[in-house]
Structure 1
Amino acid sequence: MALDDTTEDLARDAARGDHRALGELLKQIEPHVMRHCARILPYRQDAEEACQDTLLAVARNISRFEGRSRFSTWLHIVTANCARTTYRSLKRRAAEQSSDDLPTQRPDPRRVSVIAGSRLDLLDAMEALETDKPDLAQALVLRDICQLDYAEVAEQLGIPLGTAKSRIHQARKFVQAALGSEYGISL
Protein backbone atom coordinates (compact mmCIF):
# COMPACT_ATOMS: atom_id res chain seq x y z
CA MET A 1 0.00 0.00 0.00
CA ALA A 2 2.06 2.91 -1.24
CA LEU A 3 0.77 6.10 0.30
CA ASP A 4 2.28 9.52 -0.28
CA ASP A 5 3.66 11.98 2.26
CA THR A 6 0.40 13.96 2.26
CA THR A 7 -1.40 10.90 3.55
CA GLU A 8 1.26 10.41 6.22
CA ASP A 9 0.78 14.06 7.29
CA LEU A 10 -3.01 13.64 7.40
CA ALA A 11 -2.58 10.55 9.58
CA ARG A 12 -0.40 12.42 12.06
CA ASP A 13 -2.91 15.29 12.18
CA ALA A 14 -5.83 12.87 12.60
CA ALA A 15 -3.97 11.08 15.41
CA ARG A 16 -3.72 14.43 17.19
CA GLY A 17 -7.51 14.84 17.00
CA ASP A 18 -8.05 16.81 13.77
CA HIS A 19 -11.46 15.55 12.57
CA ARG A 20 -11.17 17.23 9.17
CA ALA A 21 -7.86 15.44 8.60
CA LEU A 22 -9.45 12.14 9.62
CA GLY A 23 -12.26 12.55 7.10
CA GLU A 24 -9.81 13.38 4.32
CA LEU A 25 -7.54 10.51 5.36
CA LEU A 26 -10.38 7.98 5.20
CA LYS A 27 -11.32 9.19 1.70
CA GLN A 28 -7.73 8.89 0.50
CA ILE A 29 -7.04 5.42 1.90
CA GLU A 30 -10.34 3.74 0.97
CA PRO A 31 -9.26 2.61 -2.54
CA HIS A 32 -5.95 1.27 -1.19
CA VAL A 33 -7.69 -0.60 1.62
CA MET A 34 -10.26 -2.06 -0.80
CA ARG A 35 -7.53 -3.37 -3.12
CA HIS A 36 -5.68 -4.96 -0.22
CA CYS A 37 -8.85 -6.61 1.14
CA ALA A 38 -9.71 -7.90 -2.34
CA ARG A 39 -6.31 -9.58 -2.56
CA ILE A 40 -7.02 -11.45 0.68
CA LEU A 41 -10.72 -12.31 0.38
CA PRO A 42 -12.12 -14.13 -2.68
CA TYR A 43 -15.49 -12.37 -2.96
CA ARG A 44 -15.85 -8.66 -3.64
CA GLN A 45 -18.76 -8.37 -1.20
CA ASP A 46 -16.58 -9.83 1.58
CA ALA A 47 -13.70 -7.53 0.65
CA GLU A 48 -16.07 -4.54 0.82
CA GLU A 49 -17.17 -5.63 4.31
CA ALA A 50 -13.54 -5.95 5.42
CA CYS A 51 -12.76 -2.56 3.86
CA GLN A 52 -15.55 -0.89 5.83
CA ASP A 53 -14.41 -2.63 9.01
CA THR A 54 -10.87 -1.39 8.37
CA LEU A 55 -11.97 2.21 7.82
CA LEU A 56 -14.04 2.05 11.00
CA ALA A 57 -11.05 0.60 12.90
CA VAL A 58 -8.83 3.38 11.59
CA ALA A 59 -11.34 6.03 12.64
CA ARG A 60 -11.74 4.52 16.10
CA ASN A 61 -8.06 3.83 16.71
CA ILE A 62 -6.20 6.62 14.90
CA SER A 63 -5.28 8.14 18.26
CA ARG A 64 -3.20 4.99 18.90
CA PHE A 65 -1.06 5.70 15.86
CA GLU A 66 2.07 7.08 17.46
CA GLY A 67 4.02 7.87 14.32
CA ARG A 68 6.99 5.65 15.25
CA SER A 69 6.57 3.88 11.93
CA ARG A 70 4.95 5.01 8.72
CA PHE A 71 1.16 5.21 8.71
CA SER A 72 1.12 2.89 5.69
CA THR A 73 2.76 0.18 7.83
CA TRP A 74 0.19 0.63 10.58
CA LEU A 75 -2.61 0.60 7.99
CA HIS A 76 -1.29 -2.64 6.45
CA ILE A 77 -1.54 -4.34 9.82
CA VAL A 78 -5.02 -3.03 10.56
CA THR A 79 -6.23 -4.02 7.08
CA ALA A 80 -4.80 -7.55 7.24
CA ASN A 81 -6.27 -8.07 10.71
CA CYS A 82 -9.71 -6.82 9.65
CA ALA A 83 -9.71 -9.00 6.52
CA ARG A 84 -8.78 -12.06 8.57
CA THR A 85 -11.44 -11.20 11.16
CA THR A 86 -14.03 -10.84 8.40
CA TYR A 87 -13.01 -14.24 7.04
CA ARG A 88 -13.35 -15.87 10.47
CA SER A 89 -16.76 -14.25 10.92
CA LEU A 90 -17.94 -15.44 7.50
CA LYS A 91 -16.67 -18.93 8.22
CA ARG A 92 -18.51 -18.99 11.57
CA ARG A 93 -21.73 -17.73 9.94
CA ALA A 94 -21.45 -20.37 7.21
CA ALA A 95 -21.00 -23.09 9.83
CA GLU A 96 -24.03 -21.84 11.75
CA GLN A 97 -26.06 -21.64 8.57
CA SER A 98 -25.13 -25.16 7.47
CA SER A 99 -25.97 -26.50 10.94
CA ASP A 100 -29.46 -25.02 10.51
CA ASP A 101 -29.78 -26.98 7.24
CA LEU A 102 -30.47 -23.83 5.27
CA PRO A 103 -29.20 -23.59 1.71
CA THR A 104 -25.98 -21.61 1.42
CA GLN A 105 -26.08 -18.31 -0.39
CA ARG A 106 -22.78 -18.88 -2.16
CA PRO A 107 -21.22 -21.95 -3.70
CA ASP A 108 -18.13 -23.38 -2.03
CA PRO A 109 -15.29 -21.49 -3.77
CA ARG A 110 -13.02 -24.51 -3.42
CA ARG A 111 -15.25 -26.27 -5.93
CA VAL A 112 -15.86 -23.27 -8.18
CA SER A 113 -12.54 -21.45 -8.38
CA VAL A 114 -9.03 -22.71 -7.90
CA ILE A 115 -7.81 -19.22 -7.01
CA ALA A 116 -10.58 -18.50 -4.49
CA GLY A 117 -10.23 -21.95 -2.97
CA SER A 118 -6.49 -21.52 -2.61
CA ARG A 119 -6.97 -18.19 -0.88
CA LEU A 120 -9.43 -19.75 1.55
CA ASP A 121 -7.06 -22.64 2.20
CA LEU A 122 -4.32 -20.13 2.93
CA LEU A 123 -6.61 -18.20 5.29
CA ASP A 124 -7.46 -21.46 7.06
CA ALA A 125 -3.75 -22.25 7.41
CA MET A 126 -3.10 -18.73 8.74
CA GLU A 127 -5.95 -19.13 11.23
CA ALA A 128 -4.45 -22.41 12.47
CA LEU A 129 -1.05 -20.74 12.78
CA GLU A 130 -2.53 -17.84 14.72
CA THR A 131 -4.26 -20.25 17.09
CA ASP A 132 -1.17 -22.41 17.66
CA LYS A 133 1.64 -19.87 17.40
CA PRO A 134 0.44 -16.25 17.42
CA ASP A 135 4.00 -14.82 17.51
CA LEU A 136 4.80 -16.61 14.27
CA ALA A 137 1.51 -15.55 12.67
CA GLN A 138 2.13 -11.91 13.47
CA ALA A 139 5.59 -12.00 11.88
CA LEU A 140 4.28 -13.79 8.78
CA VAL A 141 1.42 -11.32 8.31
CA LEU A 142 3.79 -8.38 8.50
CA ARG A 143 6.26 -9.92 6.02
CA ASP A 144 4.11 -11.77 3.50
CA ILE A 145 0.76 -9.98 3.63
CA CYS A 146 1.82 -6.46 4.59
CA GLN A 147 5.02 -6.87 2.54
CA LEU A 148 7.31 -5.22 5.08
CA ASP A 149 11.00 -5.95 4.83
CA TYR A 150 12.62 -8.03 7.57
CA ALA A 151 14.04 -5.01 9.40
CA GLU A 152 10.59 -3.36 9.51
CA VAL A 153 9.05 -6.59 10.83
CA ALA A 154 11.67 -6.74 13.59
CA GLU A 155 11.06 -3.08 14.43
CA GLN A 156 7.26 -3.48 14.52
CA LEU A 157 7.51 -6.52 16.79
CA GLY A 158 10.31 -5.10 18.93
CA ILE A 159 12.52 -8.14 18.39
CA PRO A 160 16.02 -8.68 16.96
CA LEU A 161 16.30 -9.08 13.17
CA GLY A 162 17.46 -12.70 13.47
CA THR A 163 14.44 -13.57 15.61
CA ALA A 164 12.11 -11.98 13.07
CA LYS A 165 13.69 -13.99 10.24
CA SER A 166 13.45 -17.18 12.28
CA ARG A 167 9.78 -16.61 13.12
CA ILE A 168 8.92 -15.93 9.49
CA HIS A 169 10.76 -19.08 8.38
CA GLN A 170 9.00 -21.21 11.02
CA ALA A 171 5.63 -19.69 10.11
CA ARG A 172 6.13 -20.43 6.42
CA LYS A 173 7.02 -24.03 7.24
CA PHE A 174 3.86 -24.34 9.36
CA VAL A 175 1.67 -22.92 6.58
CA GLN A 176 3.35 -25.10 3.94
CA ALA A 177 2.75 -28.17 6.06
CA ALA A 178 -0.89 -27.18 6.62
CA LEU A 179 -1.41 -26.59 2.90
CA GLY A 180 0.43 -29.81 2.07
CA SER A 181 -1.86 -31.85 4.30
CA GLU A 182 -4.89 -30.09 2.76
CA TYR A 183 -3.84 -31.21 -0.70
CA GLY A 184 -2.34 -34.56 0.32
CA ILE A 185 1.21 -33.37 -0.27
CA SER A 186 3.95 -34.42 2.10
CA LEU A 187 6.67 -31.86 2.59
Structure 2
Amino acid sequence: MGEVFSGPSAGSVVSAAEHADLARARAGDDAAFTRLIQPLRRELHAHCYRMLGSTHDADDALQDALLRAWRGLARFEGRSSLRSWLYVVATRICLDIVDTRAKRAMPVDLGPSSERAVLDSAPLTDVAWLGPYPDAGLGDGPATPAARYEQREAVELAFVAALQHLRGNQRAALLLFDVLGFSASEIASMMDTSATSVNSALARARKIVAEKVPGSAQQQALRRMGDGRVREIVTRFATALERGDADALVALLTEDVTWSMPPLPHWYRGLAAVTDFAVQVPLTRCPSWRHRLTGANGQPAVACYLGESPTGVHHAWSINVLTLRDYHIAEITSFLGSEHFAPFGLPLSVP
Protein backbone atom coordinates (compact mmCIF):
# COMPACT_ATOMS: atom_id res chain seq x y z
CA MET A 1 0.00 0.00 0.00
CA GLY A 2 1.11 3.53 -0.67
CA GLU A 3 0.60 6.64 1.37
CA VAL A 4 -3.02 7.03 2.41
CA PHE A 5 -3.21 10.54 3.68
CA SER A 6 -1.81 13.59 1.95
CA GLY A 7 -1.01 15.63 5.04
CA PRO A 8 2.43 17.10 5.72
CA SER A 9 5.31 14.77 6.38
CA ALA A 10 6.98 14.46 9.75
CA GLY A 11 9.67 16.90 8.67
CA SER A 12 7.29 19.74 7.72
CA VAL A 13 6.94 22.79 9.91
CA VAL A 14 3.55 24.02 11.10
CA SER A 15 1.83 26.82 9.18
CA ALA A 16 1.40 30.39 10.36
CA ALA A 17 -2.25 29.73 11.12
CA GLU A 18 -1.31 26.66 13.17
CA HIS A 19 1.27 28.72 15.05
CA ALA A 20 -1.41 31.26 15.96
CA ASP A 21 -3.86 28.58 17.08
CA LEU A 22 -1.12 26.74 18.96
CA ALA A 23 -0.38 29.88 20.93
CA ARG A 24 -4.06 30.31 21.73
CA ALA A 25 -4.46 26.63 22.63
CA ARG A 26 -1.45 26.74 24.93
CA ALA A 27 -3.15 29.66 26.68
CA GLY A 28 -6.20 27.47 27.28
CA ASP A 29 -8.33 28.26 24.21
CA ASP A 30 -10.46 25.15 23.60
CA ALA A 31 -11.78 26.47 20.30
CA ALA A 32 -8.26 26.93 18.96
CA PHE A 33 -7.33 23.38 19.94
CA THR A 34 -10.48 22.07 18.25
CA ARG A 35 -9.57 23.90 15.05
CA LEU A 36 -6.13 22.30 15.14
CA ILE A 37 -7.26 18.72 15.59
CA GLN A 38 -10.62 18.65 13.82
CA PRO A 39 -9.21 18.04 10.28
CA LEU A 40 -7.22 15.10 11.64
CA ARG A 41 -9.80 13.37 13.82
CA ARG A 42 -11.11 10.87 11.27
CA GLU A 43 -7.75 9.68 10.01
CA LEU A 44 -6.48 9.36 13.59
CA HIS A 45 -9.59 7.40 14.53
CA ALA A 46 -9.10 5.06 11.55
CA HIS A 47 -5.48 4.56 12.60
CA CYS A 48 -6.57 3.62 16.12
CA TYR A 49 -9.12 1.18 14.67
CA ARG A 50 -6.49 -0.52 12.51
CA MET A 51 -4.24 -0.86 15.52
CA LEU A 52 -6.96 -2.13 17.87
CA GLY A 53 -9.62 -3.81 15.69
CA SER A 54 -12.52 -2.21 17.55
CA THR A 55 -14.46 0.98 16.91
CA HIS A 56 -15.18 1.35 20.61
CA ASP A 57 -11.51 0.89 21.54
CA ALA A 58 -10.61 3.40 18.83
CA ASP A 59 -13.04 5.89 20.39
CA ASP A 60 -11.34 5.51 23.77
CA ALA A 61 -7.81 5.62 22.34
CA LEU A 62 -8.50 8.76 20.32
CA GLN A 63 -10.11 10.48 23.28
CA ASP A 64 -7.08 9.64 25.44
CA ALA A 65 -4.71 10.77 22.68
CA LEU A 66 -6.40 14.14 22.26
CA LEU A 67 -6.53 14.66 26.02
CA ARG A 68 -2.84 13.82 26.28
CA ALA A 69 -2.07 16.14 23.36
CA TRP A 70 -4.06 18.96 24.97
CA ARG A 71 -2.14 18.55 28.21
CA GLY A 72 1.19 18.19 26.40
CA LEU A 73 0.98 21.09 23.96
CA ALA A 74 3.84 22.83 25.73
CA ARG A 75 6.13 19.99 24.63
CA PHE A 76 5.21 20.41 20.96
CA GLU A 77 7.78 22.85 19.60
CA GLY A 78 6.62 22.91 15.98
CA ARG A 79 9.73 21.33 14.46
CA SER A 80 7.51 18.64 12.91
CA SER A 81 3.91 18.80 11.69
CA LEU A 82 1.10 18.68 14.21
CA ARG A 83 -0.24 15.65 12.32
CA SER A 84 2.99 13.73 12.89
CA TRP A 85 3.06 14.63 16.57
CA LEU A 86 -0.55 13.50 17.05
CA TYR A 87 0.27 10.19 15.37
CA VAL A 88 3.09 9.72 17.87
CA VAL A 89 0.69 10.27 20.76
CA ALA A 90 -2.06 8.07 19.31
CA THR A 91 0.31 5.25 18.33
CA ARG A 92 1.89 5.08 21.78
CA ILE A 93 -1.52 4.90 23.43
CA CYS A 94 -2.57 2.12 21.06
CA LEU A 95 0.64 0.22 21.77
CA ASP A 96 -0.08 0.41 25.50
CA ILE A 97 -3.55 -1.03 24.87
CA VAL A 98 -2.23 -3.79 22.59
CA ASP A 99 0.26 -4.81 25.27
CA THR A 100 -2.45 -5.20 27.93
CA ARG A 101 -5.37 -6.73 25.98
CA ALA A 102 -5.95 -9.91 24.03
CA LYS A 103 -5.75 -9.63 20.26
CA ARG A 104 -9.00 -9.25 18.35
CA ALA A 105 -10.11 -12.53 16.80
CA MET A 106 -12.44 -13.88 14.13
CA PRO A 107 -14.17 -17.30 14.20
CA VAL A 108 -11.69 -18.63 11.62
CA ASP A 109 -8.93 -18.08 14.21
CA LEU A 110 -10.57 -20.44 16.69
CA GLY A 111 -11.03 -23.65 14.74
CA PRO A 112 -12.05 -25.37 11.50
CA SER A 113 -15.28 -24.63 9.67
CA SER A 114 -18.48 -26.59 10.32
CA GLU A 115 -19.94 -28.75 7.57
CA ARG A 116 -23.52 -28.57 8.86
CA ALA A 117 -25.55 -25.87 10.58
CA VAL A 118 -24.88 -25.67 14.32
CA LEU A 119 -28.23 -24.89 15.94
CA ASP A 120 -27.16 -24.65 19.58
CA SER A 121 -24.21 -22.30 19.11
CA ALA A 122 -23.73 -19.85 21.97
CA PRO A 123 -21.72 -16.61 21.91
CA LEU A 124 -18.19 -16.78 23.29
CA THR A 125 -17.98 -13.92 25.75
CA ASP A 126 -14.37 -14.53 26.79
CA VAL A 127 -12.99 -13.73 23.30
CA ALA A 128 -12.03 -10.22 22.18
CA TRP A 129 -13.76 -10.11 18.81
CA LEU A 130 -12.84 -7.97 15.84
CA GLY A 131 -15.53 -5.39 15.11
CA PRO A 132 -16.77 -3.60 11.96
CA TYR A 133 -15.78 -0.05 11.05
CA PRO A 134 -18.36 2.40 9.62
CA ASP A 135 -17.59 3.93 6.24
CA ALA A 136 -19.07 7.30 7.24
CA GLY A 137 -16.35 9.89 6.77
CA LEU A 138 -13.86 7.66 4.99
CA GLY A 139 -12.42 9.67 2.13
CA ASP A 140 -13.31 13.05 3.62
CA GLY A 141 -10.70 15.74 3.92
CA PRO A 142 -7.92 16.98 1.67
CA ALA A 143 -6.61 13.63 0.46
CA THR A 144 -6.32 13.03 -3.29
CA PRO A 145 -8.73 10.57 -5.00
CA ALA A 146 -5.99 7.92 -5.09
CA ALA A 147 -5.28 8.46 -1.41
CA ARG A 148 -8.96 8.19 -0.54
CA TYR A 149 -9.10 4.87 -2.44
CA GLU A 150 -6.14 3.55 -0.45
CA GLN A 151 -7.70 4.82 2.78
CA ARG A 152 -10.66 2.51 2.18
CA GLU A 153 -8.33 -0.35 1.21
CA ALA A 154 -6.50 0.03 4.50
CA VAL A 155 -9.63 -0.67 6.57
CA GLU A 156 -10.79 -3.69 4.57
CA LEU A 157 -11.87 -6.48 6.88
CA ALA A 158 -9.27 -9.02 5.72
CA PHE A 159 -6.43 -6.52 6.16
CA VAL A 160 -7.50 -5.40 9.65
CA ALA A 161 -8.02 -9.04 10.68
CA ALA A 162 -4.50 -9.85 9.47
CA LEU A 163 -3.09 -6.95 11.48
CA GLN A 164 -4.37 -8.56 14.67
CA HIS A 165 -1.87 -11.40 14.18
CA LEU A 166 1.04 -8.96 14.47
CA ARG A 167 2.83 -7.82 17.57
CA GLY A 168 2.18 -4.24 18.54
CA ASN A 169 5.48 -2.89 17.20
CA GLN A 170 5.02 -4.79 13.92
CA ARG A 171 1.47 -3.48 13.55
CA ALA A 172 2.58 0.09 14.18
CA ALA A 173 5.56 -0.14 11.81
CA LEU A 174 3.44 -1.52 8.97
CA LEU A 175 0.68 1.06 9.35
CA LEU A 176 2.98 4.03 9.79
CA PHE A 177 5.23 3.06 6.88
CA ASP A 178 3.05 1.33 4.29
CA VAL A 179 -0.27 3.04 5.00
CA LEU A 180 0.66 6.49 6.29
CA GLY A 181 3.95 7.08 4.51
CA PHE A 182 6.28 7.84 7.40
CA SER A 183 9.93 6.92 6.97
CA ALA A 184 11.73 4.28 9.01
CA SER A 185 13.74 6.95 10.83
CA GLU A 186 10.57 8.90 11.67
CA ILE A 187 8.89 5.75 12.98
CA ALA A 188 11.98 4.89 15.02
CA SER A 189 11.73 8.29 16.68
CA MET A 190 8.02 7.79 17.35
CA MET A 191 8.57 4.38 18.92
CA ASP A 192 11.83 5.14 20.75
CA THR A 193 13.77 2.48 18.85
CA SER A 194 16.23 2.19 15.96
CA ALA A 195 15.57 2.30 12.23
CA THR A 196 17.05 -1.20 12.03
CA SER A 197 14.45 -2.48 14.48
CA VAL A 198 11.70 -0.75 12.54
CA ASN A 199 12.84 -2.33 9.26
CA SER A 200 12.97 -5.75 10.91
CA ALA A 201 9.45 -5.35 12.33
CA LEU A 202 8.25 -4.10 8.96
CA ALA A 203 9.65 -7.09 7.06
CA ARG A 204 8.07 -9.55 9.48
CA ALA A 205 4.74 -7.73 9.39
CA ARG A 206 4.60 -7.72 5.59
CA LYS A 207 5.31 -11.46 5.47
CA ILE A 208 2.53 -12.31 7.93
CA VAL A 209 -0.03 -10.03 6.27
CA ALA A 210 0.81 -11.44 2.82
CA GLU A 211 0.16 -14.94 4.16
CA LYS A 212 -3.16 -13.91 5.69
CA VAL A 213 -4.36 -11.78 2.75
CA PRO A 214 -3.08 -13.55 -0.38
CA GLY A 215 -5.63 -12.14 -2.84
CA SER A 216 -6.13 -8.71 -4.39
CA ALA A 217 -7.73 -5.88 -2.45
CA GLN A 218 -11.51 -5.78 -2.29
CA GLN A 219 -11.43 -2.19 -3.58
CA GLN A 220 -10.15 -3.39 -6.94
CA ALA A 221 -13.05 -5.82 -7.31
CA LEU A 222 -15.58 -3.18 -6.31
CA ARG A 223 -14.20 -0.68 -8.78
CA ARG A 224 -14.34 -3.21 -11.61
CA MET A 225 -17.99 -3.99 -10.87
CA GLY A 226 -19.08 -0.38 -10.45
CA ASP A 227 -21.36 1.14 -7.81
CA GLY A 228 -24.57 0.21 -9.62
CA ARG A 229 -23.75 -3.48 -9.93
CA VAL A 230 -22.48 -3.68 -6.36
CA ARG A 231 -25.67 -2.12 -5.03
CA GLU A 232 -27.72 -4.57 -7.11
CA ILE A 233 -25.91 -7.58 -5.63
CA VAL A 234 -26.23 -6.29 -2.07
CA THR A 235 -29.91 -5.47 -2.52
CA ARG A 236 -30.59 -8.94 -3.93
CA PHE A 237 -28.85 -10.48 -0.89
CA ALA A 238 -30.91 -8.46 1.57
CA THR A 239 -34.15 -9.13 -0.33
CA ALA A 240 -33.48 -12.88 -0.42
CA LEU A 241 -33.12 -12.86 3.37
CA GLU A 242 -36.33 -10.90 3.86
CA ARG A 243 -38.30 -13.20 1.56
CA GLY A 244 -36.74 -16.42 2.83
CA ASP A 245 -35.72 -17.21 -0.74
CA ALA A 246 -32.97 -19.84 -0.56
CA ASP A 247 -32.58 -20.18 -4.32
CA ALA A 248 -32.11 -16.44 -4.80
CA LEU A 249 -29.56 -16.32 -1.99
CA VAL A 250 -27.55 -19.32 -3.19
CA ALA A 251 -27.42 -17.89 -6.72
CA LEU A 252 -25.42 -14.96 -5.35
CA LEU A 253 -22.69 -17.05 -3.68
CA THR A 254 -19.33 -18.33 -4.90
CA GLU A 255 -18.50 -22.03 -4.63
CA ASP A 256 -15.95 -21.32 -1.87
CA VAL A 257 -18.09 -18.80 0.03
CA THR A 258 -17.62 -18.42 3.79
CA TRP A 259 -20.04 -17.18 6.44
CA SER A 260 -19.02 -16.29 9.99
CA MET A 261 -20.94 -14.63 12.82
CA PRO A 262 -18.83 -13.28 15.67
CA PRO A 263 -19.34 -13.70 18.63
CA LEU A 264 -20.54 -17.18 17.60
CA PRO A 265 -17.51 -19.47 17.24
CA HIS A 266 -18.85 -21.63 14.40
CA TRP A 267 -18.31 -20.65 10.79
CA TYR A 268 -18.97 -22.21 7.40
CA ARG A 269 -16.98 -22.69 4.21
CA GLY A 270 -18.22 -23.86 0.81
CA LEU A 271 -21.56 -23.59 -0.91
CA ALA A 272 -23.03 -26.76 0.63
CA ALA A 273 -22.21 -25.81 4.23
CA VAL A 274 -23.26 -22.17 3.83
CA THR A 275 -26.51 -23.20 2.12
CA ASP A 276 -27.31 -25.63 4.93
CA PHE A 277 -26.74 -22.93 7.53
CA ALA A 278 -28.75 -20.33 5.59
CA VAL A 279 -31.72 -22.66 5.14
CA GLN A 280 -31.61 -23.99 8.69
CA VAL A 281 -31.23 -20.67 10.50
CA PRO A 282 -31.79 -17.20 8.97
CA LEU A 283 -34.22 -18.30 6.24
CA THR A 284 -36.48 -20.48 8.42
CA ARG A 285 -35.89 -20.07 12.14
CA CYS A 286 -35.84 -16.27 12.09
CA PRO A 287 -39.46 -15.03 11.78
CA SER A 288 -39.00 -11.75 9.92
CA TRP A 289 -36.16 -9.58 8.60
CA ARG A 290 -35.80 -5.93 7.68
CA HIS A 291 -32.64 -4.32 6.33
CA ARG A 292 -30.78 -1.08 5.72
CA LEU A 293 -27.93 -0.83 3.22
CA THR A 294 -24.74 0.65 4.64
CA GLY A 295 -20.96 0.42 4.28
CA ALA A 296 -18.34 -1.07 6.58
CA ASN A 297 -14.57 -1.44 6.27
CA GLY A 298 -14.69 0.09 2.79
CA GLN A 299 -17.00 -2.74 1.70
CA PRO A 300 -20.74 -3.09 1.04
CA ALA A 301 -22.73 -4.04 4.11
CA VAL A 302 -26.28 -4.73 5.21
CA ALA A 303 -27.70 -3.88 8.62
CA CYS A 304 -30.25 -6.56 9.52
CA TYR A 305 -33.15 -6.19 11.95
CA LEU A 306 -35.01 -9.19 13.36
CA GLY A 307 -38.70 -9.20 14.26
CA GLU A 308 -41.13 -11.70 15.71
CA SER A 309 -43.58 -11.08 12.86
CA PRO A 310 -43.69 -9.07 9.61
CA THR A 311 -46.06 -6.56 11.22
CA GLY A 312 -44.11 -6.09 14.46
CA VAL A 313 -41.12 -4.02 15.47
CA HIS A 314 -37.77 -5.28 14.19
CA HIS A 315 -34.74 -4.89 16.44
CA ALA A 316 -31.06 -4.39 15.55
CA TRP A 317 -29.44 -7.78 15.01
CA SER A 318 -26.30 -7.72 12.84
CA ILE A 319 -24.02 -5.73 10.56
CA ASN A 320 -23.25 -8.01 7.61
CA VAL A 321 -20.06 -7.10 5.75
CA LEU A 322 -19.87 -8.59 2.26
CA THR A 323 -16.76 -9.44 0.27
CA LEU A 324 -17.47 -9.64 -3.46
CA ARG A 325 -15.62 -11.49 -6.22
CA ASP A 326 -16.56 -11.94 -9.88
CA TYR A 327 -20.04 -10.47 -9.33
CA HIS A 328 -20.79 -12.92 -6.51
CA ILE A 329 -20.52 -12.89 -2.72
CA ALA A 330 -17.36 -14.67 -1.57
CA GLU A 331 -17.59 -13.92 2.13
CA ILE A 332 -20.29 -12.88 4.60
CA THR A 333 -19.22 -11.65 8.02
CA SER A 334 -22.20 -11.04 10.28
CA PHE A 335 -21.24 -9.00 13.34
CA LEU A 336 -24.02 -9.86 15.78
CA GLY A 337 -25.08 -7.34 18.40
CA SER A 338 -27.01 -4.08 18.64
CA GLU A 339 -23.88 -2.35 20.01
CA HIS A 340 -22.51 -2.17 16.47
CA PHE A 341 -25.35 -0.01 15.17
CA ALA A 342 -24.73 3.34 16.90
CA PRO A 343 -21.33 3.98 15.24
CA PHE A 344 -23.07 3.54 11.88
CA GLY A 345 -25.72 6.10 12.75
CA LEU A 346 -28.38 3.40 12.46
CA PRO A 347 -31.54 3.12 14.59
CA LEU A 348 -31.89 0.28 17.06
CA SER A 349 -35.32 -0.66 15.74
CA VAL A 350 -37.41 -0.27 12.57
CA PRO A 351 -41.05 -1.11 11.73
**TM-score, normalised relative to structure 2:** 0.35
Alpha-carbon separation, structure 2, partners of 1:58 and 1:32: 16
3-state secondary structure, aligned to 1:69: coil
Q: Gaps spanning 5+ residues in structure 1: where?
A: 93-102, 131-135
Total equivalences in the alignment: 160
* Equivalent residue, structure 1, for 2:296: none
CA contact (8 A) 2:44 2:90 kept: yes
Show the 5 A alignment for 1:27-176: 27-91=38-102, 104=125, 108-109=129-130, 119=160, 122-127=163-168, 130=169, 142-144=176-178, 146-150=180-184, 152-153=186-187, 164=195, 166-176=196-206
Alpha-carbon separation, structure 2, partners of 1:157 and 1:143: 13
Alpha-carbon separation, structure 2, partners of 1:177 and 1:73: 26
Against the structure 1 CA distance between its residues 58 and 137, is the aligned structure 2 distance closer, same or farther, given a 3 Å change threshold?
Answer: same
- Is 1:13 matched up with 2:23? yes
- Aligned pair partner of 2:33 in 22, 33, 38: 22
CA contact (8 A) 2:76 2:85 kept: yes
CA contact (8 A) 2:51 2:163 kept: no
Alpha-carbon separation, structure 1, partners of 2:171 and 2:126: 31
CA offsets 1:56-96 (integer angstroms, 9 cap, x no match):
1211212111111111111122122222333334429xxxx
3-state secondary structure, aligned to 2:102: helix
Alpha-carbon separation, structure 1, partners of 2:21 and 2:44: 15
- Deviating above 6 A after TM superposition, structure 1's stretches of 4 or more consecutive aligned residues are 136-139, 154-159, 177-180
2:27 is matched by which residue type in structure 1?
D
Tell me the percent identity: 23
Alpha-carbon separation, structure 1, partners of 2:163 and 2:157: 10
Against the structure 1 CA distance between its residues 117 and 106, is the aligned structure 2 distance closer, same or farther, given a 3 Å change threshold?
Answer: farther
Alpha-carbon RMSD: 4.4
Give the drift of 1:37: 2.0
CA offsets 1:13-33 (integer angstroms, 9 cap, x no match):
257x23212243344433332
Answer 1 or 2: which has greater strand percent: 2
Q: Gaps spanning 5+ residues in structure 2: where?
A: 9-13, 104-123, 132-155, 213-351
Give the drift of 1:158: 10
CA contact (8 A) 1:109 1:117 kept: no
CA offsets 1:3-60 (integer angstroms, 9 cap, x no match):
7947733563257x23212243344433332232233332211211111111112112
2:68 is matched by which residue type in structure 1?
A
CA contact (8 A) 1:33 1:54 kept: no
**TM-score, normalised relative to structure 1:** 0.57
CA contact (8 A) 2:65 2:93 kept: yes
Against the structure 1 CA distance between its residues 122 and 35, is the aligned structure 2 distance closer, same or farther, given a 3 Å change threshold?
Answer: closer
